[in-house]
Amino acid sequence: MDGASTKGVLSHLSLLEVQARSRKTQPQQPSRVKELKAKAEALMTQRDQLKAEIETHKSLQKLRASMDKQRTHEEEEEEMAEDSDNSQLLRLMARHTQLKDLLHAHDIIGGYNIIKTRKGKGLCISLTTAYNGVYLENYNLEMDLKPTLRISRDNIPPFIPLKSLAEQSNMQTDIRTLLDPLSQHLNAFAARKQQFKLVKELHKSVQVMESNALCSLLVLMFTVPREKTAVLCSLEYTDHTRCLPTRVHFECEDKGLPDSPQWKKNGSLLMETPVHKALITMKKMGDIV
């Protein structure tokens, strides 16, 4: 027993002695040290880099704030002092972020013309309509911002369902859910109105029997050449977001005429082409006077 334990202790002591001697004689693993030193260097440069970035970001923000202020004071002349390359670069970067934000804002409002009114308490949104590359009417919405976004004034015609579009939209969080459908309705209405106007101007031989304020219905009277029979054509535009009809109907004393292949073709022509253009084709084909 005694021998075993003494052996254990003694052997342990001798082991420790060997270890101590080897530690004194061995060099301190230079690769490891180098490794650690290099790591420390790297971390320090990273820290410096981050510090520099923070500084740049701070000065960029300051520059951007002053740029924004300059913009709201109606484009005052920027002082183009003899800046060092560094500050010119900073200026460019600030301008870049400004333009990016502007583009983002433009995306959010969908490209509609919006201006602030009443010192930021209101907005006025302008919706343009156009057809065939020609600008038509401009419609406006004036809105209050507080307590919630709501329409205070507008010049939208009463047969455009503004109220129901507003109710169905998500305008508090995304105003485009109101503006896009509204613009669709208005543009389709303007397009139909323009088409009806062109029919009256360009096709005097075609008689307009009926139309309505919303331009969702057009009834025309055609005269077939040679026989001089009259054909009554009803165009219904039940989809108010489109400017092409949803239904075309012909009525004639000659009951067979609407079913003839020629007039069936005219029917699909009228469904697919704006009416004033379709009439030109029909005249060319000799179907109508």
Partner 1 sequence: MDESTKRLLQRLMRRIPTQMLRTTLDKWGRLTGEQLQSMDFTQSKWALTEKLLAICEENELAVKHITELEMIYIIDNPNQGMWYAFQLMDPEDDAHSVELTQFKEQFKSHLRELIRHVSVKIKKHTDEAVWIRIAWGDTFSRPNHMKPTYVVHSLQTPYVFVTSLTSKQKPLLSQALVLSARYQAIKDANLSGRKLTAIRDLLMRQYHQVFPTRYPTPLAENNQTVSNQHIEREQAVPAANRLQAAYEAFGGGMLPQLQSAVYKLETKFRDHSNKTMTEREEPFRCVVKFASTNLLESLRHCASSGIASTPVTPLLSSIPLKGKNYFVITDNGPGPSSQMRQPQN
Question: Nearest approach, Cβ of 246 to partner 1 (angstroms)?
Answer: 10
Bridge partners, residue 250, by sequence:
233
Decide whether 123 or 279 has the Cβ nearer to partner 1. Answer: 123
Decide whether 114 or 178 has the Cβ nearer to partner 1. Answer: 114
**Strand 230-236 relative to strand 247-252, pairing:** antiparallel
- Evaluate the omega torsion of the peptide bond into residue 147 and state whether it is cis, within 30 degrees of 0: yes
**Concatenated DSSP letters for 2-66?**
HHHHHHHHHHHHHHHHHHHHHHHHS---HHHHHHHHHHHHHHHHHHHHHHHHHHHHHHHHHHHHH
Question: Nearest approach, Cβ of 129 to partner 1 (angstroms)?
Answer: 15
Question: Nearest approach, Cβ of 190 to partner 1 (angstroms)?
Answer: 15
Question: Nearest approach, Cβ of 166 to partner 1 (angstroms)?
Answer: 16
Q: State the Cα–Cα distance between residues 181 and 11, nearest whole angstrom.
A: 92
Q: Which residues bind partner 1 (CB under 8 A)?
A: 113, 115, 117, 124, 126, 140, 142, 153, 155-159, 210-214, 216-217, 236, 238, 240
Decide whether 141 or 282 has the Cβ nearer to partner 1. Answer: 141
Q: State the Cα–Cα distance between residues 136 and 187, nearest whole angstrom.
A: 9
Question: Nearest approach, Cβ of 212 to partner 1 (angstroms)?
Answer: 5
Decide whether 45 or 126 has the Cβ nearer to partner 1. Answer: 126
Phi, psi of 126 (to 5 degrees): -110, 125
Question: Nearest approach, Cβ of 201 to partner 1 (angstroms)?
Answer: 15
Q: Please answer whether residues 196 and 218 qualify as being in contact, where contact means their C-beta atoms are separated by less than 8 angstroms.
A: yes
CA-only gyration radius of the chain, Å:
40
Decide whether 246 or 268 has the Cβ nearer to partner 1. Answer: 246
Decide whether 110 or 157 has the Cβ nearer to partner 1. Answer: 157
